[in-house]
Structure 1
Amino acid sequence: MDFLNQILRVPLDQLPYLLISLIIAFTVHEFAHAYFANKFGDPTARLQGRVTLNPVVHFDLLGVIFLLIAGFGWARPVPVNRDNFDRPRQMGIIVSAAGPLSNLLLGFLGTMIYTALSQFGMLNMISNEILFIAVHNFFGYFIILNFFLFLFNLVPLPPLDGYRLLEDIVPDHVRIKLKQVEHWSILIFLVILIVPPLRNITIEPLWDVAKLIYFQFANFFIILFGG
């Protein structure tokens, strides 16, 4: 137990809340990509059984292990063939944005539900202390994690969604240049993730921004619910 606590970036007793949050966040994220790609005429993901909310088909064990140990991870990427779209650029933007926006939506809904439970006194009605703590811990991880994934996936470096968005937004001549240096961009991204000082000034601050987003939404719902 002590050995696992030393390896994991999350305390062992908090691991279930993180894992449940990750499963939901990753599953909805990848489903959103697959759903819109299929809707716009690309059957690639559907033929691989990816237009589903079944977490098993989106799960990548190695990606989750890396997230728990190294602080970054991934689900199984959804295959998308933009050549099947009637309007590749416009539809490609929507498909790429669908994943991060799904995490933003989950964080928004989580904040709304958690704030409502708090404002209307429902949390105080939970007499079981263990259940009370579990509810607080789950919403804490679920909300902040989804806001973080929303921000993280918008980073314009491959293989993140932000890079695919950038590709579809910029002019063709810029897109060609991006393709020419894409392998270097991937290397830069990996270095940022692996080297702690670089990660501390680039990726880690996104957690603080995620918390700020939560506070803004929470304040909105407190006012909305008459707090």
Structure 2
Amino acid sequence: MFDFNPMTIIAGLPGLIIAMVIHEYAHAQVAVWLGDFTPRLMGRLTLNPKAHIDPIGMLMLFLVHFGWAKPVQINPRNFKNPQRDDILVSLAGPMANFVTAFLALVALLVFDRMGGDMTTGVYMVFRLIIEYNIGFGIFNLIPLPPLDGSHVLMQLLPRDMAYKLAGLERYSFLILIVLLMTPVLSMILIPCRNLIWQIFRLLLSPFI
């Protein structure tokens, strides 16, 4: 899980940055499309990494392939359909990560089919772009505040249960640390990662 190989650190930086920036930009862009201009006013409607990267979340993503970025602030009252639109905004980030991972995989396959001579370093960069985006997308779907999965779940739960779930946010970091120190999180996330890979293979099966 922990890899301090200098080559991995260097090759992994593009994947880390891309995963975080794409994820948060997708949240911001979809929110604006749905009528909430808060992300634009707060400078989040940009692909500039400085606007999105959280140092601790980036370190966690590098160490365990699961992490987080600076959350995009939205105001659901600006949406025409607050419940539906909040769910769409919440799902936009993880979906953008999965699409990015898929496109990176397609780029690798196309380059290989064209007979390109890819160095080990370049291959590792693309591989880590894929891995980090899949990991970032899955991790953020965990229904634990303030992760995206919790926003989706809170919109679907009865109000009293949603309030109780929101109250867990103060303990979220501690809960995540405990989960990371046990096999519980891996037992959930690794099968999800394998499922994403199976979907990718299914989509690409006519071409490979």
User: Which category describes the TM-score, using the shorter chain as reference length?
Assistant: 0.7 to 0.9
C-alpha separation between the residues in 2 aligned to 1:220 and 1:162? Answer: 25
Contact persistence 1:158–1:186 (CA under 8 A): no
Task: Give, in angstroms, the shift of residue 30 of structure 1.
Answer: 0.2
TM-score w.r.t. the length of structure 2 is: 0.86
C-alpha separation between the residues in 2 aligned to 1:186 and 1:135? Answer: 34
The residue identity in structure 2 corresponding to 1:189 is L
Residue equivalent to 1:108: 102
Correspondence 1:122 to 2:115: yes
Change (3 A) 1:86 1:216: closer
Residue equivalent to 2:5: 11
Alignment of 1:156-167 (within 5 A): 156-167=143-154
Which of residues 158, 178, 189 in structure 2 aligns to 1:206? 189
Residue equivalent to 1:5: none
Which of residues 192, 197, 200 in structure 1 aligns to 2:179? 192
Q: Kindly report the root-mean-square deviation, in angstroms, between the aligned alpha carbons of the 2 structures.
A: 2.4
Which of residues 71, 77, 81 in structure 2 aligns to 1:83? 77
Residue equivalent to 2:141: 154
Residue equivalent to 2:28: 34
Structure 2 alignment gaps of length 5 or more: none
- Divergent runs of 4+, >3 A: 65-73, 179-187
Q: Deviations over 1:49-108 (max 9, x none)?
A: 101111121122333234445665422111112122221110000000000000011111
Structure 1 alignment gaps of length 5 or more: 1-7
**Percent of aligned pairs sharing the same letter:** 36
Correspondence 1:138 to 2:132: no
- Secondary structure of the residue aligned to 2:161 is helix
Correspondence 1:224 to 2:206: yes
Contact persistence 2:16–2:62 (CA under 8 A): no
- Secondary structure of the residue aligned to 2:196 is helix
Which of residues 18, 28, 36 in structure 2 aligns to 1:24? 18
Change (3 A) 1:137 1:72: same
TM-score w.r.t. the length of structure 1 is: 0.79
